[in-house]
Amino acid sequence: MDGIEGASNPMMEEMQANGTGGVDGSPLTSTSRRKNRPIVSGEPLDIEAYAGLYTGRTKIKRLMFIANHCDNPGMQLEALRMAYDEIKRGENTHLYREVVQKIDGRLGPNYAMDAAWCSTIERKAEQRKEKLESELNAYRTNLIKESIRMGYNDFGDFYYAHGALGDAFKSYVRTRDYCTTSKHIIQMCLNAILVSIEMVQFSNVTSYVSKAEQTPEALDPPTVAKLCCAAGLAHLEAKKYKLAARKFLEVGPELGNSYSEVIAPQDVATYGGLCALASFDRTELKNKVIDNINFRDFLELVPEVRELINDFYSSHYASCLEYLGNLKSNLMLDIHLYDHVETLYDQIRNKALIQYTLPFVSVDMRMMADAFKTSVVGLEKELEALITDNQIQARIDSHNKILYARHADQRNATFQRVLQTGNEFDQEVRAMLLRSSLLKYDYNIRALRKH
């Protein structure tokens, strides 16, 4: 590898062989690992620990997602067993039947269809629904707004518990006409957001986040953190990774475990960190992620994400890519990140390739391939794509396997900027003279008077 002046540099070659290059080549000292490995790691997913991060319907849906997408039969059955146990603590007979069908007798008689339980739950549900309807009708007759609001809210909770998400959403939204305080509006928005996330209708999520933000006087720090999480998930689903990263980075430590029915603090670190790596430039990565005190607390929960961010910023690409490789299998089991892992990984890798080549006039592609854990042929194809997209200004010597940077002619560029500045100055002076002449001869006023 050659430096900017073209002279060989043994120290730089050693850095390159170790997967470093470009700026900030000093080695990064890894902080001590915790004894308890994070949920997202290169190790097999600890389903029990993972499920323990969540509550309610999202816990069940995440377990079922793992069962549907995991190749390990043991993990599949463990996820289904935990989902079965969790459902039986609730009232959702539809999910219960779905899980029993997926288990298909593989867990023994204790996890077979319990028809008596389903009948009991459904009979109680009918009785509960009749009671709620009679109460709501009474409230409507008496025209008590607060009682009507609570009646619709109870209906929303009832439908949500039984898996009728569409009816739950309608009931929660109907409370809006009977809200008398800002806190009531915030509660309505949070309920609508929760159901919309479950229904994967993220346009509604964005809408109700905006509605909630229009009543800032009722927003306490935990609620603000929840709204940032919801907005981040909506942007992530829309593949607006930079906006998603910004929202996750705004989540305050007040979140804690208060939003476990939607997201865990570990998810905030993982989603925010990966989206930031894929979309932020170096300055933003330093200022908004690495130096972000609040987000640092979230990153401590997932050391792998913290380390890969630091490795990327310090140009330790081999280590960064190794962390990403170890994380990938478990990230593919995440219900929100599953569809975005490949895209995010491609963007992060492309940014690493670009950042690696920036400071140098020429790069030995053999050493670069070794740093990125790939073949020279594979690296050449990646670089060709980036050059074609005009993301790297360079040309490839395929015979000698060297990448030569095409640096702009600084002398010519300076002359062009000077000429452009002169032309802009000339146009501005002429415009000023014209305006002063118009004012001097009272041209505008006389033209108006004629009309």
Sequential DSSP letters for 204-263: HHHHHHHHHHT-GGG--HHHHHHHHHHHHHHHHHTT-HHHHHHHHHT--GGGTTTTTTT-
Residue environment code for 84-98, b if the CB has 16+ CB neighbours within 10 A, otherwise e:
bebbeebbbbebbeb
Residue 35: predicted pLDDT: 33
- Contact assessment for residue 41 and residue 73, using Cβ atoms and an 8 Å cutoff: no
SS3 41: coil
Give the H or E element holding residue 10: helix 10-17
- Contact assessment for residue 367 and residue 13, using Cβ atoms and an 8 Å cutoff: yes
Give the H or E element holding residue 187: helix 182-198
- Contact assessment for residue 75 and residue 63, using Cβ atoms and an 8 Å cutoff: no
- Contact assessment for residue 392 and residue 353, using Cβ atoms and an 8 Å cutoff: yes
Give the H or E element holding residue 321: helix 317-331
Residue 2: predicted pLDDT: 47
Contacts of 404-413 with CB under 8 Å at 24 or more apart are 404/361, 404/362, 405/357, 405/360, 405/361, 405/362, 405/363, 407/361
- Contact assessment for residue 360 and residue 4, using Cβ atoms and an 8 Å cutoff: yes
Residue 396: strand pairing partners:
403
For 211, how many CA atoms within 13 A lie in the half-sphere containing its CB? 20
SS3 443: helix
**What is the radius of gyration, based on Cα positions, of the chain?**
29
With a cut of 70, which residues of the chain have pLDDT below it? Answer: 1-43, 407-410, 444-451
**Token duo for residue 124:** 């109680």
Give the H or E element holding residue 395: strand 394-397
Cα–Cα distance between 193 and 287 in angstroms, integer? 30
Residue environment code for 251-261, b if the CB has 16+ CB neighbours within 10 A, otherwise e:
beeebeeebbe
Phi-psi region at 215: left, alpha or beta (left = phi > 0; alpha = psi -120 to 50): beta
- Contact assessment for residue 312 and residue 285, using Cβ atoms and an 8 Å cutoff: yes
Q: What is the DSSP string of 286-300?
A: IIIIIT-HHHHHHHT
Residue 394: strand pairing partners:
405
Residue pLDDT, tens place only, 306-340: 999 999 998 888 888 888 888 998 999 999 999 99
Residue 235: predicted pLDDT: 95
What is the CATH code for 360-403? 1.10.10.10
Closest-CA residue to 307 (of 40, 22, 12, 16): 40
Residue 409: predicted pLDDT: 59
For the chain, domain boundaries: 238-337, 360-403
SS3 95: helix
**Look-up of token digits 């790596």:** 277
Q: What is the pTM of this model?
A: 0.77
Closest-CA residue to 158 (of 149, 166, 168): 168
